[in-house]
Structure 1
């Protein structure tokens, strides 16, 4: 199975969680990664800069209609929903979902609609239930699901909600999530 995209959703505590995952991914990872990190709608590009210090993979905030390129990490911009369309991203200012824009559910559901079983959905630390419906859809369409072990999360609410609602494939610590992504996306590594 070759995967087309990894989608990651996180909220409270997400910055430190994302740093750990990105630090443990190889520079030659080919599968693109799209991330929704809940943040204030007035946020600037500081998140991008902070995360770039921890990975060799290029990171950037998505602009509407950006092509989805292998080996890149994409961040949902503040106050926009991030959606997957065939081979590119779309941005939306539709109403918040689960009180959030960007919404994890919106990203995950659109990824599942386009790529079905070729999606890996990852839910990390967070203090609300955003992501549960999206992860359900990823699983229903045949994609793989990974959730951060709640006892290792800064806020366990989001991971626990995902685990209680979805028969997730793996419940892992942050460093194990990174190594699992490498195994899934680089199956022929020596």
Structure 2
């Protein structure tokens, strides 16, 4: 069963239609939201991402496009830089950090949702919440399954409300999703998440 107070980090994957979906979720998170949020949105190679600037003006949380080896800070939203896979690294006894990789694209995408989700599942285990939003391919389904297998929780955007339903549909079909929610339902539930338990 989902326990909002046990979540230690949130990972979000999105593609086509995902920016609009994120605009329903990220701006509602209060300044006191005590969790890191790591986000992969499929963006075209070779183009600078406008997402950090776009969301910085709309959100109460700090918005970052991280560098390799940055320590993950609670209350911060990290957007994967264009052209890089974004992973979570967790050394024994050390705070989780960001790793950036130029390994080949996964499911035709770099950054890849699967890569982020799988690495975060390894780092956070049962304390991870994964969210699959609107998108036009199946990236994220394998990673969502990894989160569920590690004991974490997974949500998918209700495909009927997604501009591009393929991504949440794939996660649902992979039996990776605990709950299928509207964006409004996700926003309410996310606001209840705080890092209270070790």
Is 1:9 the counterpart of 2:13? The answer is yes
Aligned runs of 1:89-104 on 2, under 5 Å? 89-104=98-113
SS at match of 1:97: coil
Does 1:56 pair with 2:60?
Answer: yes
Residues 131-182 of structure 1: per-residue CA shift (max 9 Å, x gap) = 0000000000000001100011010010111111124221111121121112
Does residue 147 (structure 1) correspond to residue 156 (structure 2)? The answer is: yes
User: How much has 1:185 moved relative to structure 2?
Assistant: 2.8
Query: Is the counterpart of residue 21 in structure 1 residue 25 in structure 2?
Result: yes
Runs of 4+ aligned structure 1 residues displaced above 3 Å come to none
The TM-score with structure 2 as length reference comes to 0.91
1:32 aligns with 2:41: no
1:77 aligns with: 81
d(CA) in 2 for partners of 1:62 and 1:12? 22
Q: Cα RMSD over matched residues?
A: 1.3
> Which of the numbers 40, 47, 56 marks the counterpart of 1:43?
47
**Structure 2 unmatched ranges of 5 or more:** 91-95
C-alpha deviations, 1:24-81, integer Å up to 9, x for none? Answer: 2111100100000000112214111111222110101011000100100000000000
Matched residue count: 187
Residue 93 of structure 2 corresponds to none
TM-score (ref. length: structure 1): 0.94
CA contact (8 A) 1:27 1:56 kept: yes
| 1:90-169 alignment, distance < 5 Å | 90-169=99-178
Larger RCO: Structure 1 or Structure 2 (Cα < 8 Å, ≥ 6 residues apart)? 2
Q: Which runs of 5+ in 1 are unaligned?
A: none
Q: Deviations over 1:91-143 (max 9, x none)?
A: 00001000000000000000011111011000000000000000000000000
- Partners of 2:58 and 2:181 lie apart in 1 by 20
Offset at residue 183 of structure 1 (A):
2.0
